[in-house]
Amino acid sequence: MTRLAIVYNQPLAAGHARYDSSADVLVQVEAVAASLVNLGHTPVRIPFTLDLAAFLKAVQRAQTELVFNLCESVDEDPQLGGHPAAVLELRGLPYTGSRPLALMLSTDKLLSKRVLMASGIDTPNCLVYDGTAPFAGQGLTFPVLVKPRFEDASIGIDQESVFVDPGRLSASIQDIYRQYGPLLVEEYIEGREFNIALLGFPRARVLPVAEIDFSAFPANLFHIVGYRAKWDDSSFEYHNSPRCFPSETRGDDAFACMRRIALQCFTLFGLRDYGRVDMRMAADGRIYVLEVNANPCLSPDAGFAAAARQQGISYDELVEKFLHFLQARPGQPEGTPSGQRG
């Protein structure tokens, strides 16, 4: 039996407008902890806060040499999401998931787009708005989707984030900026949406490709997975944007292309252990990368675990694979827990 730390960010207080998305990390913590117990290990839950001295003391008291890193932000700042991994590296503690640079790069939607474009990977055209000048959207084809540059979990994205009229966008963008900070104004790509999950170390493999089914959406709703679709169980979008796994036939060029692009993104962004690439397929078959996600959500009902189940990997087996990845890290001594049941 081995003690393993589960490091996570403390969520917002109950009652906050974004509590549901913030508190999802606790669902992940408890799911991983339950699987570690099933695998014969002792989980130790350690929240990561801005008080680094207290955090390091907690790690020392835990007497653990391995960490399951579930931090998505620090003090609700997603730009600090890579810092817990950096602290763990400085302490020499092996941890699950991507390294700091990959976490910080994938959090910044603008830098992510620049990396994709420099590598010849299609991504929707966009402009950035930093609040310093009037915005007219010259050079963009409308409709456009306005999204916060640094937020994740679809925070700041909903039907109201799609603009078909440049004048209405110009009149609204300053208010959006005041709420969320720097913004990306991105051309809206009409078409099918896919989530491609990847798993593995030192090399990743693509799990079954998932598609978001928007067929129940009426004509007046854009086909996007916004905040309501992800977190508001009282909304139409939440109940009518299910995930499905389309059957893939051998030689299907579109799915083969998406798999190839996903693997390319995984390597390009320096992801490790697991990741997810979100894509759109336009009516002409052209594939656009929307986002590259390092350390995607591991809640049992979220997309990554669903893709693993579709591959025949149970949640306990998924957690066990992460332990194997830790064992495979360079310089890791023999005897690192491999998930043997007690």
Confidence of residue 250 (pLDDT cuts 50, 70, 90): low
Are 3-97 and 123-187 the same fold in CATH?
no
Sorted by where each begins, the domain ranges of the chain are 3-97, 115-120+190-316, 123-187
Contact of 137 with 166, CB cutoff 8 Å:
yes
Tally the residues of the chain.
Answer: 342
Q: Mean of the pLDDT values across residues 243-253?
A: 84
Q: Mean of the pLDDT values across residues 220-241?
A: 95
Interval 118-174: pLDDT, tens: 999 999 999 999 998 888 788 999 999 999 999 988 999 999 999 999 999 999 999
Residue ranges in the chain assigned as alpha helix (H):
19-38, 52-62, 83-90, 100-107, 109-118, 166-180, 227-231, 236-239, 253-268, 303-310, 315-327
Q: Mean of the pLDDT values across residues 70-88?
A: 92
Q: What percent of the chain has pLDDT over 70?
A: 96
pLDDT of 342 higher than 50 = no
Q: Which residues, at least 6 apart from 232, have a Cβ–Cβ distance to it below 8 Å?
A: 20, 238
Q: Mean of the pLDDT values across residues 60-75?
A: 92
Q: What angle do CA 88, 90, 91 make, to 5 degrees?
A: 65
Structure tokens at 225: 């997975």
Confidence of residue 332 (pLDDT cuts 50, 70, 90): low
Q: 326 exposed, middle or buried (CB, 10 Å; 0-12, 13-18, 19+)?
A: buried
In a 3-state reduction of DSSP, which class is residue 199? strand
Which overall architecture, per CATH, does domain 3-97 show? 3-Layer(aba) Sandwich (3.40)
pLDDT of residue 319: 98
241/167 Cα distance (integer angstroms) = 30
Interval 12-29: pLDDT, tens: 878 887 788 888 999 999
Contact of 194 with 209, CB cutoff 8 Å:
yes
Compute the radius of gyration of the chain from its Cα atoms: 20
pLDDT of 210 higher than 60 = yes
Q: Give CATH for domain 123-187.
A: 3.30.1490.20
Cβ density class 245-263: b for 16+ within 10 Å, e for less: eeeeeeeeeebeebbebbb
182/176 Cα distance (integer angstroms) = 9
Q: What do you get for the CA distance between the two ends of the chain, in Å? A: 7
According to CATH, the topology of domain 115-120+190-316 is D-amino Acid Aminotransferase; Chain A, domain 1 (3.30.470)
pLDDT of 338 higher than 80 = no
pLDDT of residue 340: 38
Average pLDDT over all residues of the chain = 93
76 vs 206, residue with greater confidence: 206
pLDDT of residue 333: 57
Interval 33-62: pLDDT, tens: 999 999 999 999 999 999 999 999 999 999
Q: Mean of the pLDDT values across residues 225-230?
A: 94
16 vs 224, residue with greater confidence: 224
